[in-house]
Amino acid sequence: MTEFDKTLASRSVMTEHELATLGDGAVAYIKILTSEEASRMFPAIEGLPKGINLFSLHSADGTPLALTDTRQAAVGHAIDDDLEIASVH
């Protein structure tokens, strides 16, 4: 086990910097967004129905990568891009 792995194992929370650099860009997470939040985060997408939840795929540094209507589709995008999905709460 590397020193980094030992440090992570001894703590339950990662810093933003640690998350952003995790996996050298190969780690992502999925976030549930309201349609209003999604409209702000993805301004190029027009006509989102109001009052629904959507799923956004983000790189570990928080960069939005994809917006979908199902968690399964977000997972599919991650798999297609060879990204590991991290569980964040």
Report how many domains make up the chain: 1
Residue 37 in domain: yes
Q: For residue 50, give both structure tokens.
A: 């109001």
Q: How far apart are CA 9 and CA 14, in angstroms?
A: 10
Question: Is residue 51, in this structure, part of any structural domain at all?
Answer: yes
Tens digit of each residue's pLDDT (9 = 90 or more) over 35-64: 999 999 888 988 888 899 999 999 888 889
**pTM of the predicted structure, to 2 decimals:** 0.69
Instruction: Give tens-digit pLDDT for 72-88.
Output: 999 999 999 999 888 76
Whether 1 is covered by a domain: the verdict is no
Residue 17 inside a domain? The answer is no
Q: How many Cβ atoms sit within 10 Å of the Cβ of residue 6?
A: 9
Looking at the domain assignment, is residue 82 inside a domain?
yes
Q: Look at residue 42 and tell me if it is in a domain.
A: yes
* Residue 83 lies inside a defined structural domain of this protein: yes
Instruction: For 28-65, give the DSSP string.
Output: EEEEEEEHHHHHHH-TT---PPTT-EEEEEEETTS-EE
Flag whether 6 is in a domain: no
Domain that holds residue 40: 32-89
